[in-house]
Structure 1
Amino acid sequence: MTRAFNFSAGPAAIPTEVLERAQEELLNWNGYGCSVMELGHRTPDFKEILHNTETNLRKLLKIPDNYQVLFMHGSASHQFSMVPMNFLAPGDSANYLEMDHWSRMCIDEAKRFGNIHVEQGIRKNSDGLLELVPEVEWNLDEDAKYLHFTSNETIVGVQFEQDPECFKGKLVSDMCSDILSRPIDIEKYALIYAGAQKNIGPSGMTVVIVREDLFDSFQTERVPRLFQYPHVAAKGSMPNTPPSFGIYFAGLVFEWLLRQGGVEEMHKRNLEKANMLYDYVDQSSFYHSPVARGSRSFMNVAIQLDDRSLEERFLKGAQDNHLIALKGHRSFGGLRASIYNAMSIDGVKALLSYMEHFEKTL
């Protein structure tokens, strides 16, 4: 069977080595005689899986002991509500950077729970290219409980190269699409969350990293138990039956990342892949990037053809060449190459070869 190079923004490509191990263990995990999906979550065996998964994530991201790691049901979109539910008492405010689709959804949810100060995070420059708004132009509410920002916007391909520095309060970040792709200074953050389906594993689980000393200030009286971070932490990510297969699969991915050399090595590879694509696009008169240098994502590379009418033809030819899921989001159009950790350099080279061939054959 030929494995395609999968450039999907999510659910995204998973390392073949990890898929093969999961396949091998699917019917008989660890000689236990059943699948890990059938393993009781209260058993010592599953608790060991959970412990190893958390231990390896802590190792990869250098998570300090005063931070709790939670493995939760659902998607990052659930956290759009959980964050303000926990942080904001009636009358409290929070800062949110508006980037694009996902951050706007997040802002809409947050407005249900507090006074939300919205600051524009991206704009078009004089050349019509998207760029990050410099921090010096932000006008934040300094009394707000936190500043929430999306570190990487998958749809338009805009990413923060550095953590925001201008806000002296708590930082909260949606890192769905770039967690584990680069080193993170965890101690700069009050809370980080990330859906699994891009760099962690299958969809249906979200990882939350939260500073434990904040628990006493979180709202609990009016928040359902399963939506309280302190309650989930006190129960060891198991206030109810956890996303057990997602936890197991994340553990396999974390082991794979450690074998590759960890987050630092993945960051080098990811930058190499992105630079290969951007360098080719920048020298072409056929393709162009809609994002200005300095604001470009190295996870989701947005590409547009100068002749937009050729997009469907490009996508059909790409699929014929085992290059799949290159269609841009319906709200933005164009092409999009999502090059998360599982995408190999060979996959990017194959895409570049096809792009060059497509341009020359017209």
Structure 2
Amino acid sequence: MTSYNFSAGPGVLPSSVIQQIRKDLEQEENSHYSILEISHRSAKFEQIIAHAEKRLRELMAIPADYAVLFIQGGGSLQFEMLPLNLANQKKKIAVLDSGNFANKAAKAAEAVGKSVEIVGSSKADKYRFLPELPGDFQAEQYDYLHITTNNTIEGSTYHQDNLPQTTGHLVADMSSNILAEPYDVTKFSAIFAGAQKNLGPAGVTVAIIKKDWLAEQKITGVGPMMRYQSYIDKDSMYNTPPVFSIYALSLVLDWVSDQGGVAQMYQNNQKKAEKLYQYLDESDFYQVPVQGADRSLTNVVFTTGDADLDRKISQQADQEGIHNLAGHRSVGGFRASLYNAQPMAAVDTLIAFLERAKQEN
């Protein structure tokens, strides 16, 4: 029985990447070490991390005036690191509260002593739509505006064509849809993404920072581990980096490139999402809370409207090789994560299963 993983994270990896990892776990053919054993000071790893940066710059068209950094701590550490490094003039941050992770980012910034203003929120409506900037938003009052491009739990996305328009600095958490669809990096002053959803296994986070903005900052009371400049100065190796995670990320980036880059990923993801949304929309059994252009391509959230039935169907799915279909514990229902490596066959299998579940229930 073929099985499919619909987990929101750690997400599905390309099978060819897993095969290469399996091979390198035994003994890398040139160094004669397992990839788990190589030193971060070795020439081999220097090649790996340099290649990962080069490939990411190519895939996202990242200009030279942006630093590309590989940092530990996940997206959650970035919720604190960003304001400590980049909110030092007005010490005030604007947040569009579009879901759980945007809300967590706001609370983390407050915890490190910054003033946070929620300038738009859909929390009262259970995050069923994306909040917009108010017409009288004054960017000059804030160090930056923080958004989450893709809301993994709630199933909504600020796509490139519906990004909030601000004359100030825009910062984006792209953890769950980086490389899944095209974004113009120059529209942002900082981007970060935990690897474990669409870039590779957990353990490394990508941070893309506009260098001249960072240079303007007067940072005090922040230790070297929490300063972006420490990682810039040491080529992401201020301390021992997550060697294996960066190696695996490099393989995934090569795979994306070989498949045709972000443009091809976007085309594939549109087709997968459109097929699943079309089935759900035509059904009188399942409902999708997010509508229209706000819908995510990478995390499709839906429900029967009956929490007990949702749980029953999720358990049945797992028994049939359709794994991790249950929605986040905070919202329930179902969540099908259609990351870059998820094949169309997984969507077809899921739709067939959902139709059977509908008929049976």
- TM (norm. structure 2) is 0.95
Secondary structure of 2:36 counterpart: helix
Q: What residue number does 1:310 align with?
A: 309
Aligned partners of 1:119 and 1:216: how far apart in 2?
Answer: 27
**In the alignment, is the contact (CA less than 8 A) between 2:69 and 2:236 conserved in 1?**
yes
Which residues of 2 match residues 236-251 of structure 1 at below 5 A? Answer: 236-251=235-250
Aligned partners of 1:298 and 1:29: how far apart in 2?
Answer: 36
Q: What residue number does 1:192 align with?
A: 191
Q: How large is the Cα RMSD of the aligned pairs?
A: 1.8
1:151 to 129, 149, 152: 149
Q: Does 1:93 align with 2:86?
A: no
Q: What residue number does 1:289 align with?
A: 288
Q: What residue number does 2:119 align with?
A: 119
Distance 1:267 1:91, change over 3 A: closer
Secondary structure of 2:354 counterpart: helix
Aligned partners of 1:166 and 1:254: how far apart in 2?
Answer: 29
Q: Which amino acid aligns with 1:116?
A: V
Aligned partners of 1:314 and 1:183: how far apart in 2?
Answer: 34
Matched residues, percent identical?
Answer: 35
**In the alignment, is the contact (CA less than 8 A) between 1:131 and 1:291 conserved in 2?**
yes
Q: What residue number does 1:38 align with?
A: 37
Return 5+ residue gaps in structure 1 as ranges: none
Aligned partners of 1:3 and 1:229: how far apart in 2?
Answer: 44
Q: What residue number does 1:326 align with?
A: 325
Aligned partners of 2:127 and 2:96: how far apart in 1?
Answer: 19
Distance 1:220 1:136, change over 3 A: closer
Q: How many matched pairs?
A: 359
Q: Which amino acid aligns with 2:178?
A: I
The Cα of 1:90 is off from its aligned counterpart by: 6.9
Q: Which amino acid aligns with 1:52?
A: H
**In the alignment, is the contact (CA less than 8 A) between 2:96 and 2:131 conserved in 1?**
no
Task: String of CA shifts for 1:110-157, please: whole Å, max 9, x gaps.
Answer: 1132221112243677xx981123335574553211101000111111
The Cα of 1:94 is off from its aligned counterpart by: 1.4
**In the alignment, is the contact (CA less than 8 A) between 2:119 and 2:133 conserved in 1?**
no
Aligned partners of 2:107 and 2:307: how far apart in 1?
Answer: 32
Q: What residue number does 2:255 align with?
A: 256
The Cα of 1:43 is off from its aligned counterpart by: 1.5
Task: String of CA shifts for 1:55-77, please: whole Å, max 9, x gaps.
Answer: 11111111111111000112100
**In the alignment, is the contact (CA less than 8 A) between 2:269 and 2:297 conserved in 1?**
yes
The Cα of 1:215 is off from its aligned counterpart by: 2.5
Q: Which amino acid aligns with 2:129?
A: E
Secondary structure of 1:71 counterpart: strand
**In the alignment, is the contact (CA less than 8 A) between 1:142 and 1:167 conserved in 2?**
no
- TM (norm. structure 1) is 0.95
Q: What residue number does 2:26 align with?
A: 27
Q: Which amino acid aligns with 1:311?
A: D
Q: What residue number does 1:336 align with?
A: 335
Aligned partners of 2:340 and 2:305: how far apart in 1?
Answer: 29
**In the alignment, is the contact (CA less than 8 A) between 1:8 and 1:326 conserved in 2?**
yes
Which residues of 2 match residues 122-201 of structure 1 at below 5 A? Answer: 122=122, 130-137=128-135, 139-161=137-159, 162=161, 164-201=163-200
Task: String of CA shifts for 1:175-219, please: whole Å, max 9, x gaps.
Answer: 000001011101111100000001111111100011111232234
